[in-house]
């Protein structure tokens, strides 16, 4: 199995990370997770647009052209012969003796690996339960940084409470999941949090927006409350790894049960059709 390290595709066994990598000390870096369907990366341009945006927001300058990075990723997918799976791409600010103050003359470290595996068919069919809790993350959740403590804490909590994902809310406003975006359906209209600093603007979220448009399902990108969530007709989460997964139960700070409804099924169907 091969990985990308800096500008080289090498054996995983030969890969190493410098002790002074700022990603290791500070979580100072960014990442993307991209789906591979039938050997081809899915919504690739959208992922790279977000990657560039995250880099810019953190004042990290690409160490090589975007085209070169894309080429390396494609080569990695081919060399690992991934048909269905994901590619993980990460860029840390670089290597520097530990200091909060970063230097601008260090070279960012790009790494990538691929993972074989399909989509969670069982969850897509039968739904999952969410554990709702206060969103304690920082105020720049729009940046896809590897600094994910708030996310990993809430994911562990959800799992410990017997759920598969967290439902985060800031006060009474529902934001997103620990690693997914959240949608509700009320009276045939879809609602999801607007793309601002409080959520990650998910690529799957953007794609669902398009699908909803094609299917003539009205969509409101406006914040909804925990109360709205509790009274929703349907709820689902989206991400690169999950695609569209129905939510059948919420526990924790709010409690509710949901059927897997027609809007969710319609969007899942449209997603499935559009992939091929």
Which of 241/251 has CB closer to ligand PDD? 241
* Number of residues engaging ligand PDD in binding (CB under 6 A): 15
Tokens describing residue 225: 């409350």
260-263-264-269 Cα dihedral, nearest 10 degrees: 120
Considering the rule CB under 6 A, would residue 151 count as an interface residue with ligand PDD?
yes
- CA nearest to 77, candidates 31, 112, 118, 120: 112
Query: What residue number has its CB nearest to ligand PDD?
Result: 202
Residue 95 lies near ligand PDD (rule: CB under 6 A): no
Q: In the complex with ligand PDD, which residue's Cβ is closer, 204 or 268? A: 204
Q: How far is the CB of 181 from ligand PDD (least distance, A)?
A: 5
- Answer yes or no whether residue 181 interacts with ligand PDD by CB under 6 A: yes
Query: Between residues 86 and 248, which has the closer beta carbon with respect to ligand PDD?
Result: 86
Binding span for ligand PDD by CB under 6 A among 12-20, 187-195, 210-218, 239-247: 239-247
| 103: DSSP letter | P
Find the binder of ligand PDD among 58, 205, 211, 258 (CB under 6 A): 205
Contacts of 106 (CB under 8 A, 6+ apart): 22, 93, 94, 95, 96
Q: Beta partners for 237?
A: 182, 245
Expressed in percent and rounded to 5, the helix, strand and coil fractions of the chain are 30, 30, 40
In the list 132, 180, 192, 264, the residue contacting ligand PDD (rule: CB under 6 A) is: 180
Residues 6+ apart with CB under 8 A from 185: 191, 232, 233, 234, 235, 261, 263, 264
Which residues are the active-site residues?
144
The residues binding ligand PDD (CB under 6 A) are 33, 151, 176, 179-181, 200, 202-205, 238-241
């Amino acid at each position: 199995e091969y990985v990308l390290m800096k500008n080289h595709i090498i054996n995983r066994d030969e890969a190493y990370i410098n002790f002074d990598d700022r990603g290791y000390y500070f979580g100072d870096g960014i990442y993307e997770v991209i789906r591979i369907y039938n050997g081809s990366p899915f919504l690739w341009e959208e992922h790279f647009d977000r990657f560039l945006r995250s880099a810019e927001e953190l004042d990290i300058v690409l160490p090589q052209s975007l085209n070169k990075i894309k080429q390396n990723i494609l080569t990695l997918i081919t060399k690992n012969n991934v048909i269905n799976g994901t590619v993980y791409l990460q860029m840390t600010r670089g290597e520097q003796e530990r200091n909060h103050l970063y230097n601008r003359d260090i070279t960012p470290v790009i790494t990538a690996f691929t993972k074989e595996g399909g989509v969670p068919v069982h969850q897509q069919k039968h739904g999952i339960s969410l554990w709702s809790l206060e969103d304690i993350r920082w105020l720049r959740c729009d940046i896809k940084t590897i600094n994910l403590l708030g996310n990993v804490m809430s994911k562990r909590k959800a799992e410990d409470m017997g759920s598969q994902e967290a439902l985060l809310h800031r006060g009474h406003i529902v934001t997103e999941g620990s690693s997914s975006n959240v949608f509700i359906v009320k009276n045939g209209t879809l609602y999801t949090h607007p793309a601002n600093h409080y959520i990650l603007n998910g690529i799957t979220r953007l794609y669902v927006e398009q699908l909803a448009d094609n299917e003539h399902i009205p969509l409101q990108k406006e914040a909804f409350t925990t109360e709205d969530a509790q009274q929703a007709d349907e709820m689902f989460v989206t991400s690169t790894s999950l695609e569209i997964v129905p939510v059948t139960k919420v526990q924790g700070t709010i409690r509710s049960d949901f059927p897997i409804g027609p809007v969710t099924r319609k969007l899942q169907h449209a997603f499935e059709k559009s992939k091929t």
